Amino acid sequence: MKISCVTPSIRKDMLEIVDKCLKRQVFKDFEWLVGSPKDYGFGIWVEDPPKMEGEFYKLNASWNAGLKQAKGELFVSIVDGLWFPPETLERLYQHYERDPMSCISFAGHHYDKTENGKPEHLVWVDPKVKDIGSLEQISPVDFELCIASMPMKGIKNVGGFDEEFDRFPAWSEKELACRMERVGYKFYIDHSIQFRAVHHPRLKDSEWDKKFPESSVYFQKCVNEIQAGTRKALDFLDEK
């Protein structure tokens, strides 16, 4: 198996668009693991880890659960509600073959309508999108996992996603990227492909906004330790 796509999602209405895009992929040697209730019927079911008291969500535990079950050489994160072109997986694997120390992301705008299976009516412009048609090296802090690839060997080497981040939103993929950069991986945006995201605005004064400052403090603590070489080894992908 060359690619393991992992979608840590529980929004059934946002999975069908991903399912259709994956079925149209030129590249065929992949699996799709979905963290969702069993009756959703998309991809290979990965049981959702139970939410513990004090946790904001189970996003990172769900990513790790998918990674433990994955058989591919290349991890590809695909969140729900995304439309992407048929050559997307092929492009990601080509980057991996050329440079197995590369981690590749794409950028894309948000749309609030879906017409003929494709998001339309632009409502939010991603500032990372550039019409340059080539690779741009970026800081790991700018790496996002809407749709992106990371070599499985590297993720396992650094111990997976830090599930401490399930206590609050955001930053976890950037912390993982910082750990991987420490051992030699590099990060890029491929501007030759753009995804389209179905827009989901956050509620004003939501729990996300209330918890975000805690996440930022923990993230900065982790980054300081990574840079100092004192960040403890993580083992979230080890079998317990």
CA separation for the pair 60, 179 (Å, rounded): 15
Quote the mean pLDDT of the chain: 94
Q: Are 108 and 196 in contact (CB under 8 A)?
A: yes
CA separation for the pair 165, 156 (Å, rounded): 18
Mean pLDDT, residues 220-233 taken together: 97
41: tokens are 């019927």
User: pLDDT tens digit string along 110-151?
Assistant: 999 999 999 999 999 999 999 887 899 999 999 999 999 999
pTM: predicted TM-score of the whole model, two decimal places: 0.96
User: pLDDT tens digit string along 170-186?
Assistant: 999 999 999 999 999 99
Q: What is the DSSP code (8-state) at residue 216?
A: H
Run of H or E residues at 108: strand 102-115
Which band of pLDDT confidence, cut at 50, 70 and 90, is reported for residue 202? low
Q: Taking the CB of residue 139, how many other CB atoms lie within 10 A of it?
A: 11
Sequence-distant (≥ 6) Cβ neighbours of residue 222 within 8 angstroms: 162, 175, 178, 231
Residue 144: closest CA among 187, 181, 185, 109: 187
For residue 65, count CB atoms less than 10 angstroms from its CB and return exposed for 0-12, middle for 13-18, buried for 19 or more: buried
CA separation for the pair 75, 150 (Å, rounded): 5
% of the chain surpassing 70 pLDDT? 98
